[in-house]
Structure 1
Amino acid sequence: MKLNWKLRFKNKATLTAIVATALLLAQQLGLKLPDNINDVANTALTLLVLLGVVSDPTTAGVSDSDRAMTYTEPK
């Protein structure tokens, strides 16, 4: 699986999805977080998944295309 991680981390939606997923993981591991933080993280992650932000629908499989690997800024 080849991904252009530098480019992905420049995307605010991807960063939001990573933070929401980290909060969800903390919740699953039993860490006590305020209920409103859990609810916001779960809702944000669900919305981003529905919008297709977490996975890139423009490539086959889960890897980035060779062209996307050369990007330094989102196109």
Structure 2
Amino acid sequence: MESVEARLPIRLGQFVKLASLASTGAEAGEAVRAGDVTVNGRVETRRGHRLADGDVVALRLPGGGEAAVRL
């Protein structure tokens, strides 16, 4: 699993874009609202959810599987 360093505090939507799980902020927001993003294994639908050091953010991929990144 890849790790991405980020300056805390950081919101979920920002981190999804920073970690290149989405190419734009709008795309990141759509993925979060659609329930395609999990934080530590739990679906999170709030773009503004604040992440903590060590959180694992995963994005469900269209063809199945997922891409996961540790903060």
* TM norm structure 2: 0.29
Larger Rg: 1 or 2?
A: 1
Q: Between Structure 1 and Structure 2, which shows a larger proportion of strand residues?
A: 2
Q: Between Structure 1 and Structure 2, which shows a larger proportion of helix residues?
A: 1
